[in-house]
Amino acid sequence: MHLESLGLNNFKNYESLKIDFSKEINCLVGKNGSGKTNLLDAIYYLCITKSAFNPQDVQCALHGQDYFSLRGKIILGDRTHTLVCGLQLGKKKLIKLDEKPYKKASEHIGKFPVVLIAPNDTDVIRNGSEDRRRFFDGIISQTSQNYLNDLIQYNHVLKQRNSLLKQFADRDFFDAALLQQYTDQLIEIGQRIYEVRKDFTQAFRPLVQKHYALLSEESEQVDLQYESDFGQDIAALFKQNQKKDLILKRTNVGIHKDEFLFEMEGELIKKFGSQGQQKSYLIALKLAHFDYIFTETEIKPMLLLDDIFDKLDDFRITKLMEMVASDAFGQIFVTDARPERSQKIFEAIGHEVKFFEVVEGKLS
């Protein structure tokens, strides 16, 4: 799979742009703030139907404009697909595949998988459990539409249950039977999500360990653990927490409280790992992400590397480039503020590399 061409209109700092890519390596060079990352985000948006960096779609529109659109041609197998994403402020987001609009954006997830490695990715290690759940949900959702649908439905029921708990407090009444209806739905859907996450962790753990060993000069052992309320009698746990739910006016038990633990020698890496160890673990997570999707779908995801050479030392860059040279990946997009460095790194690989200079939203 590869992205043959990309067109942008009013997307971030690009008023209008049409660009044709190499099916192997594409390097976007230019000063910081010129728009290199925005191009990667446009590719990510086409594949995932949302920005990797902006939580609200309206933030993707060029300043002063009330719409943006993206258009891409993607080659998958022996077929060429045309993908369009667009937003008019105040209207529903439009997503079309081969000129046919989707009813729901979620139907598109997983058709054209992508893996992004960006500077702010360390948040998944340093921040709370919500970031880690979101990270792993994003991976699994690219390989299972059923999982994504369950996740959407679970969050919908959770929102309804929390709203009911607030109504109980505001109106000073309690309906145990009504609350139990929502609880039963959370248990049923949550059990399916739990089973998928548990199986996923078993498959994903050795991939992380393999890549960490390759990327790190250290000999320490790393691990990935999954903790969930569903590992016990979940119905009894909901019952035990009912009074707490009523007091706090939110659901305190369920799949939305799951935790993924990143460990090194039995300790949490965010507390005891050095900066280099955390960096190696993060890249291992991302490369495991790539491997997992390829194994599950037989499609090599597009790999987006944002400003990665500034974040990795020479040893890790060398290891990563060895993987690139060995054809471990498919199409790759790289951003770099130092073109001479990129040219030197890619010189020895022997693959087709296309360089683009980005200057204030324009390419050459």
Residue 86, annotated as binding a ligand: no
DSSP string, 252-297: -SSGGG-EEEEEETTEEHHHH--HHHHHHHHHHHHHHHHHHHHHHH
pLDDT for residue 335: 93
Q: Number of C-alpha atoms within 13 angstroms, CB side, residue 28?
A: 28
Domain architecture of the chain: domains with CATH: 1-109+307-363 (3.40.50.300), 114-298 (1.20.1050.90)
Whole-prediction pTM value? 0.91
Residue 34, annotated as binding a ligand: yes
Kindly state the DSSP code that residue 61 receives in the 8-state scheme: B
pLDDT for residue 203: 96
Which residue matches tokens 């005891």?
Answer: 272
Report the percentage of the chain scoring pLDDT > 90: 70
pLDDT along the chain (364 residues), means of 10: 96 94 92 91 95 91 93 95 93 92 91 90 90 95 95 97 95 93 97 97 96 82 95 95 95 97 93 85 92 94 88 78 82 90 81 87 80
Q: What is the dihedral of CA 328, 138, 149, 260, to 10 degrees?
A: 110
Residue 251, annotated as binding a ligand: no
Residue 159, annotated as binding a ligand: no
Residue 37, annotated as binding a ligand: yes
pLDDT for residue 309: 79
CB-CB contact of 331 with 4 (8 Å): no
CB-CB contact of 133 with 260 (8 Å): yes
Max CA distance (Å), the chain: 72
Residue 36, annotated as binding a ligand: yes
pLDDT for residue 360: 80
pLDDT for residue 341: 85
Residue 146, annotated as binding a ligand: no
CA angle 1, 204, 225 (to 5 degrees): 150
pLDDT, tens digit (0-9, with 9 covering 90-100), for 98-143: 999 998 889 999 999 999 998 788 889 999 999 999 999 999 999 9
Residue 231, annotated as binding a ligand: no
